[in-house]
Chains A and B, each alone.
Chain A
Amino acid sequence: MIDKYERNVIIVALLLSALFIFSLFYAMGARKADVTECLPYDKSYETARVNQIDKSTYQIFYVARMWSFEPAITYIPVGSEVDLFLTSQDVVHGFDIYNKNVNLMGVPGGVAKTTVRFDQPGVYKVVCHEFCGTGHQNMQAEIIVNYPKK
Chain B
Amino acid sequence: MNVSRYLKNIILAELFVPVLLLTIGIYHGLMQVIYRAGVIHQASVAKLDYYQGLTLHGVINAIVLTTFFAVAFGHATIAFFLKQEPGRKASLLSLLLMVIGTLMAAAAMLSGKASVLYTFYPPLKAHPAFYIGTAMLIVGSWVAYWDWAVIYVRWKRGHREENTPLAVIGTLVNFTIWFVCTLAVAYEVLVLLVPWSLGWTAGVNVMLARTLFWFFGHALVYFWLLPAYIMFYTMLPKLAGGKLYSGTAGRIAFFLFLLFSIPIGVHHQFGEPSIGRGVKLTQSLLTFAVAIPSFITAFTIAASLEHAAWLRGGRGLYSWIWKLPFFRKDVFLFGYLINGLILFIFGGLTGLVNASYSLNNTVHNTSFIPGHFHLTVAGPVFLAILGMSIFLVSQLTGKKIYLPAINTIIPYLWTVGVLIFSAGLMWGGLMGEPRRTNMGLTYLNPASEQYHPYWVISSMLGLAGGGIMFAAGFLYFIVFFGTFFRKRSAASMIDFPVSESLHEEKRIPLFDTFRPWLVVMGFIIFMAYLPAISDALNNTGKKAPPYLPTDPTPIVTKKP
Contacts and interface: CB of A to CB of B under 8 A. Distances in A.
Interface of A: 1-3, 5-6, 9-10, 12-14, 16-17, 20-21, 23-24, 27-28, 31, 33-43, 65-67, 86-87, 90-92, 94, 96-99, 101-105, 107-113, 125, 127-138, 140
Given A13-B299, A38-B275, A109-B207, A103 B359 contact: no
Interface in B269-316: 269-277, 280, 284-285, 288-289, 291-292, 295-296, 299-300, 303
A55 B508 CA distance: 68
B274 A107 contact: yes
A92 B362 CA distance: 19
Given A2-B246, A109-B541, A129-B365, 9 more contacts: A10-B292, A21-B285, A33-B359, A35-B361, A98-B454, A103-B361, A107-B210, A109-B206, A137-B450
Interface majority SS on B: helix, strand, loop or mixed?
loop
B503 A3 contact: yes
Contact of B288 (A9, A17, A87): A17
Contacts of B435: 129
Given A92-B206, A109-B206, A130 B356 contact: no
Given A2-B248, A13-B296, A21-B288, A105 B273 contact: yes
4 nearest CB pairs, A to B = A41-B541, A110-B273, A129-B434, A13-B295
Contacts of A17: 288-289, 291-292, 295
Interface in B379-411: none
Contacts of A66: 547, 552
A134 B550 contact: yes
Interface majority SS on A: helix, strand, loop or mixed?
mixed
A141 B316 CA distance: 58
Interface in B123-145: 123-124
A128 B359 CA distance: 19
B530 to A, nearest CB: 16
Contacts of B503: 3
A116 B88 CA distance: 61
Interface string B236-250: 000000000110110
Contact of A90 (B117, B358, B544): B544
Contacts of B117: 131
Nearest to B119: A131
Nearest to B115: A134
Most chain A CB atoms below 10 A, which of B124, B205, B365, B366: B365
A109 to B, nearest CB: 4
Interface stretch (B61-69, B339-347, B436-444): B436-444
B164 interface: no
A127 B300 contact: no
6 contacts: A3-B246, A13-B295, A35-B271, A41-B542, A103-B365, A111-B274
Given A24-B284, A101-B362, A137-B442, A13 B271 contact: no
A1 B510 CA distance: 12
Nearest to B291: A17
Contacts of B295: 9, 12-13, 16-17
Nearest to A32: B358
B49 A134 contact: yes
B552 to A, nearest CB: 4
A91 B124 contact: yes
Interface string B188-223: 000000000000000001110010000000000000
B271 A9 contact: no
B272 A110 contact: yes
Nearest to B508: A1
B357 interface: yes
Given A27-B359, A38-B539, A9 B299 contact: yes
Contacts of B277: 34-35, 37-38
A66 B551 CA distance: 8
B543 A109 contact: yes
A92 B206 CA distance: 8
Contacts of B454: 98
A3 B245 contact: yes
Contact of A131 (B51, B245, B432): B51
Nearest to A66: B552
B352 interface: yes
A27 B436 CA distance: 29
A41 B246 contact: no
B147 interface: no
B452 interface: yes
B341 to A, nearest CB: 16
A7 to B, nearest CB: 10
Contact of B206 (A3, A39, A107): A107
A134 B550 CA distance: 5
